[in-house]
Amino acid sequence: MQSGPRIITVANQKGGVGKTTTAINLATALAAIGEQVLIVDLDPQGNASTGLGINRRERDISSYDLLTNSATVEQAAKRTVVPGLSIVPSTLDLLGVEMEIGMAPDRALRLRQAFASPSAARAGFTYVLVDCPPSLNLLTLNSMAAAHSVLVPLQCEFFALEGLSQLLETVEQVKRSINPRLTIQGIVLTMYDGRNNLANQVVEDVRAHMGEKVYETIIPRNVRVSEAPSHGKPAILYDLKCSGSQAYLQLASEVIRQERRLRAA
């Protein structure tokens, strides 16, 4: 039996591929089945924080404080509109973190240390999803050092696979150096538009290259999903019935099945 939360980082160095949307909606679906879920917003843009209705004034304690050892997980976690879902918000201070801790020997281990502390255990989270910035920088490295696994959203567009090998190589490097337990949780195809022949080709290509790592669920492009963040809500709360929300619920059930298999093994 694993102690402490299962930590999954949602990473892809490309922007606009659905990392934040996936983190928010997967987290919401897990919370809905009774898990105690925490999102750590590691993107200075703070889209996960905004998308969960945390306004700037409420971000006095943030992920920056976790990385600079000035707050604990318990202190930094804020409740959201979703029951069972909390978030450590981000602020623009994160932009300076590389300069501030970049010379410290433990610079890539700060997030892991934050979750290894007794106060993190007290907070009682069963899942932590980390929302990464669109870069393979020190922030993303911190997430990979802390995580059990990496969840990779890939947008169904022509250059989907481009950059994936670099991402997978980074995962391998982290495994070899600072985090041997790290695995690929899975690859999820996002923003699929069935009317677009190219999208179908991309799905085939990604499945051919990555095989079993690719989730069966494909997240469709759906306007309700893109509207939800401006209401400060996950799509699953904003419009449960829309095709995007339904797909995220289905993705969550795949993840849960995976987790059950892992625990049984």
Q: Which of 24, 26, 214, 42 is nearest to 135 (CA)?
A: 42
Helix-helix angle 19-32:243-264, to 10 degrees: 70
Task: Select 47 or 91, whichever has its Cβ closest to ligand ADP.
Answer: 47
Task: Select 123 or 131, whichever has its Cβ closest to ligand ADP.
Answer: 131
Q: How far is the CB of 35 from ligand ADP (least distance, A)?
A: 21
Whole-angstrom distance, CA of residue 135 vs CA of residue 43: 9
Residue 190 binding target from Mg ion, ligand ADP, none, CB below 5 to 8 Å by type = ligand ADP
Residues 11 to 70: which contact Mg ion by CB under 5 A? 19-20, 47
Other Cβ atoms less than 10 A from the Cβ of 118: the count is 8
Q: How many of the chain's residues bind Mg ion (CB under 5 A)?
A: 3
> Can you name the residues that pair with 86 across neighbouring β-strands?
38, 79
Task: Select 72 or 80, whichever has its Cβ closest to ligand ADP.
Answer: 80
Q: How far is the CB of 77 from ligand ADP (least distance, A)?
A: 21
Q: Could you identify the residue written with the tokens 């999102």?
A: 39
Q: Tell me, rounded to whole angstroms, the distance of Cα 256 from its chain centroid.
A: 15
90 forms part of the interface with Mg ion (CB under 5 A): no
Other Cβ atoms less than 10 A from the Cβ of 210: the count is 17
Residue 18 binding target from ligand ADP, Mg ion, none, CB below 5 to 8 Å by type = ligand ADP
Position 204, amino acid: E
Q: Using CB under 6 A, list all residues that contact ligand ADP.
A: 15-21, 47, 134, 190-191, 219, 221-222, 225-226, 229, 244
Binding site for Mg ion (CB under 5 A): 19-20, 47
